[in-house]
């Protein structure tokens, strides 16, 4: 597609069009253009049209900055930036290291382990839950609720079962907000509850949606960064050797792993606001647009050797975290977890190797995230 039809129009049976954008230059253009490409489908409707009401599930998923356009996005981002600060992430270094060491120590006695279930999943789940201020006793339940929101198919949930979980999650969050309003703690939920910008605060629906967003994106992407990154290095032992000889390259390596096999396959959906021509293609109001980040990160017009893993590459302007106003808020935390997690993993288990052929590994279904179902390895 990137070579022969880089702005590909898929005509759906219902008559709509989904545009898949695969070249680095075009993907960048879409991500930066908030005038023609919007995240809230209601902004594609004529000014006099009645906007559809959102269900409780839609509100939980969509009432946050990821699915908002300016000026709503500007207001929400400003409020959340007050709570999710670089200082808050910097303070997590010791905690990330401690949780990583603890999880790896638990699997050390075994001959084999599934790195996804035993390490790549629980590490970021615990980090984001602690950052938000969710008590340890509630973290497994909250993780289950967030999985029901983002990937109900993987749990065989029908609509009714998913709705029940969403309602339970919202009720739990409302209770948390009330507690933090009465007795603020040094956590992210307290900071979100208290955040104020020009007299504006997050309302309850926005608070719930923002916490849900942080929970889901705060661990789903990092699970895949750890899993995909570990697999890439196991498949490229020469690069692993370089990192063992030059550990100062780990930050560079994480950027290259994000480019080479990043945690997000495509961006979240955008819609065409109004009829216009994009790179010679006529797009119509209401058309769906999906930019394929994984393809852009392998574009030979941007990267000299796009299909080669090179942990020494100093200049790596990948799009794994997006670009523009929707650039990933949690990028610093993901980078921190990726660096500490992968570096400690390979230092702890120098003989680590795959327990099955790489081409037999199963990948999770879906067009948004790029991640393994399991990553079985031999430790000793």
Closest CA to 172 of 201, 198, 131, 143: 143
Tell me the whole-structure pTM to 2 decimals: 0.92
Helices (H) and strands (E) in the chain, counts: 15, 10
- State residue 342's pLDDT score: 98
Q: Distance (Å, rounded) from C-alpha 135 to C-alpha 142? A: 10
Instruction: State the virtual CA torsion across 206, 207, 213, 216 in degrees, nearest 10.
Output: -150
When computed from its CA atoms, the radius of gyration of the chain, rounded to whole angstroms, is 21
Instruction: State the virtual CA torsion across 214, 216, 220, 222 in degrees, nearest 10.
Output: 10
Task: Say whether the peptide bond before residue 71 is cis (omega within 30 degrees of 0).
Answer: yes
What are the tokens at 26? Answer: 């075009």
Q: Distance (Å, rounded) from C-alpha 134 to C-alpha 189? A: 9
Closest CA to 65 of 57, 55, 77, 56: 77
| 307: CB partners within 8 A, 6+ apart | 298
CA 128 centroid distance within chain: 12
DSSP 137: G
Place of tokens 């790029």: 370
Q: Which is it for the CA torsion 20, 62, 161, 147, positive or negative?
A: positive
- State residue 212's pLDDT score: 83
* Domains annotated on the chain, with CATH: 51-267+332-378 (1.10.630.10)
- State residue 153's pLDDT score: 55
- State residue 155's pLDDT score: 55
Q: What is the three-class DSSP state of 151?
A: coil
Instruction: State the virtual CA torsion across 324, 329, 332, 335 in degrees, nearest 10.
Output: -80
Report angle CA 259, 264, 265 to the nearest 5 degrees.
90
Helix 93-107 with 122-132: angle, nearest 10 deg: 150
- pLDDT in single tens digits along all 380 residues of the chain: 999 999 999 998 878 899 999 999 999 999 999 999 999 998 998 777 766 666 666 667 777 888 899 999 998 898 888 888 888 888 899 999 999 999 999 999 999 999 999 999 999 989 999 999 999 999 888 888 877 776 655 556 777 887 888 888 888 988 999 999 999 998 899 988 988 776 788 888 888 888 888 887 777 889 999 999 999 999 999 999 999 999 999 999 999 999 999 999 999 999 999 999 999 999 999 999 999 999 999 999 999 999 999 999 988 899 999 999 999 988 999 999 999 999 999 999 999 999 999 999 999 887 888 999 999 999 98
């Amino acid at each position: 597609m990137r070579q022969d039809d880089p702005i590909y129009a898929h005509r759906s049976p219902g008559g709509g069009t989904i545009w898949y954008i695969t070249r680095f230059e075009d993907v960048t253009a879409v991500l930066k253009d908030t005038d023609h490409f919007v995240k809230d489908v209601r902004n594609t409707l004529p000014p006099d049209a009645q906007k559809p009401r959102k269900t409780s599930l839609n509100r939980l998923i969509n009432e946050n900055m990821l699915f908002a356009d300016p000026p709503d996005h500007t207001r929400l981002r400003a409020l959340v930036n007050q709570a999710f600060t670089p200082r808050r992430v910097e303070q997590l270094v010791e905690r990330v290291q401690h949780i990583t060491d603890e999880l790896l120590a638990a699997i050390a006695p075994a001959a084999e382990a599934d790195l996804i279930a035993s390490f790549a999943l629980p590490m970021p789940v615990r980090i984001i839950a602690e950052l938000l201020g969710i008590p340890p006793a509630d973290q497994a339940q909250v993780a289950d609720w967030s999985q029901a929101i983002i990937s109900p198919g993987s749990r065989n949930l029908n609509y009714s079962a998913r709705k029940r979980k969403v309602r339970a999650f919202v009720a739990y969050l409302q209770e948390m907000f009330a507690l933090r309003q009465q007795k603020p703690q040094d956590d992210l939920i307290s900071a979100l509850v208290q955040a104020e910008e020009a007299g504006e605060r997050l309302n309850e629906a926005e608070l719930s949606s923002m916490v849900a967003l942080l929970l889901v994106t705060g661990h789903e992407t990092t699970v895949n960064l750890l899993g995909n990154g570990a697999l890439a290095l196991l498949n490229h032992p020469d690069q692993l050797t370089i990192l063992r000889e030059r550990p100062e390259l780990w930050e560079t390596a994480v950027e290259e792993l994000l480019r080479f096999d990043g945690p997000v396959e495509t961006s979240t959906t955008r819609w065409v606001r109004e009829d216009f021509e994009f790179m010679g293609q006529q797009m119509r109001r209401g058309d769906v647009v999906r930019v394929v980040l994984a393809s852009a990160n392998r574009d030979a017009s941007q990267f000299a050797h796009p299909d080669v893993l090179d942990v020494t590459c100093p200049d790596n302007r990948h799009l794994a975290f997006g670009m523009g106003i929707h650039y990933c808020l949690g990028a610093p935390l993901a980078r921190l977890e990726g660096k500490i997690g992968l570096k400690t993993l390979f230092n702890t288990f120098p003989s680590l190797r795959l327990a099955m052929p790489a081409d037999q590994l199963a990948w999770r279904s879906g067009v948004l995230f790029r991640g393994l179902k399991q990553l079985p390895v031999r430790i000793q």
